[in-house]
Amino acid sequence: MNSLLLPDWPAPATVKACSTLRAGGISLPPYDSLNLGTHVGDDPVSVQENRQRLVKYAHLPQMPHWLEQVHGTDVVRLASGQKTKGHFVADAVYSHQQQQVCAIMTADCLPVLFCSLAGDEVAAAHAGWRGLCAGILESTIQQFSAPPSQIMAWLGPAIGPQKFEVGSEVRDAFMAQEPTTNGAFVAQMNGKYLADIYHLARLHLRSVGVSQIYGGGLCTVSDRSRFFSYRRDEITGRMASLIWLI
């Protein structure tokens, strides 16, 4: 049983990263089975067991620093020797310290992992359309000492471009910032649009100088056996995308 998805990127050897799949835990339907979210109505005991299993599955140096994600642009910087606490209110987390596990949770929103080419800085960002439009990726990149040209990004499992139907207000919000984002939206007969969140993320990353971008070919909605999806199921679990330095 495979519980982890490993990024397909040429990260330095000092960088470790993964995303969880939905299998390998003990949560009961509709959270089956490796639900890592404590905020979705699942049995807290099951979630804690799943989180302990994650530490084992991924060979984590310690429990991740979990975020309370609010679709904003705040980024937490993990300090040297910082112990794991309950949660931080933020949508991204950065570290240049070894063995500090950066983690975000998703179930359709886009997880983005970052590392410096030097292998001494990492970050994880939660990019739903609101956070993406507001600049969460740019805010995360600003935490790095490395220039954007020396940062690589991996786009983890998210809602695919054939399933992400949005209203005109979403397209308008992106278009107001940058007209070239028009290419990420396909008009539908019902007046709505299909949005490509992967394309939008690439545009935002490239606009600030990040050109080494990997991943971005999955769909959480379409692949029920591997991924949780809020858009598909509403009541469901959460996956995690994690990155850390060794």
When pLDDT is cut at 50, 70 and 90, the band that residue 171 belongs to is very high
Amino acid 85: pLDDT: 57
The DSSP annotation for 99-157 comes to T--EEEEESSSEEEEEEETTSS-EEEEEE-HHHHHHTHHHHHHTT-SS-GGGEEEEE-S
| Predicted confidence (pLDDT) per residue in 12-54, tens digit | 999 999 999 999 999 999 999 999 999 999 999 999 999 999 9
List the strands of the sheet with 165-166, edge to edge: 165-166, 193-195, 185-187
CB proximity list for 203: less than 8 A, separation 6 or greater: 178, 180, 181, 184
Helix (H, G, I), strand (E, B) or coil at 16: strand
Range with lowest mean pLDDT among 38-42, 55-59, 81-85, 162-166: 81-85
The pair phi, psi for residue 220, each rounded to 5°, is -65, -35
Cβ burial of 58 (10 Å; 0-12, 13-18, 19+) is buried
Whole-angstrom Cα distance, residue 10 to residue 30?
Answer: 35
Whole-angstrom Cα distance, residue 63 to residue 54?
Answer: 9
Contact 51, 27 (CB under 8 A): no
Whole-angstrom Cα distance, residue 83 to residue 58?
Answer: 19
More confident residue, 34 or 80: 34
Helix (H, G, I), strand (E, B) or coil at 42: coil
**If we measure between CA atoms, which residue out of 179, 188, 190 comes closest to residue 161?**
188
Q: Is the dihedral of CA 172, 132, 137, 15 positive or negative?
A: negative
Q: Is residue 236 scored above 70 in pLDDT?
A: yes
Global pTM value: 0.96
Cα pseudo-dihedral 196, 199, 200, 206, rounded to 10: 180
When pLDDT is cut at 50, 70 and 90, the band that residue 79 belongs to is confident
End-to-end Cα, the chain, rounded Å: 26
Instruction: Please compute Rg for the chain using Cα positions.
Output: 17
Question: Domains in the chain and their CATH numbers?
Answer: 4-160+201-245 (3.60.140.10)
The pair phi, psi for residue 124, each rounded to 5°, is -135, 135
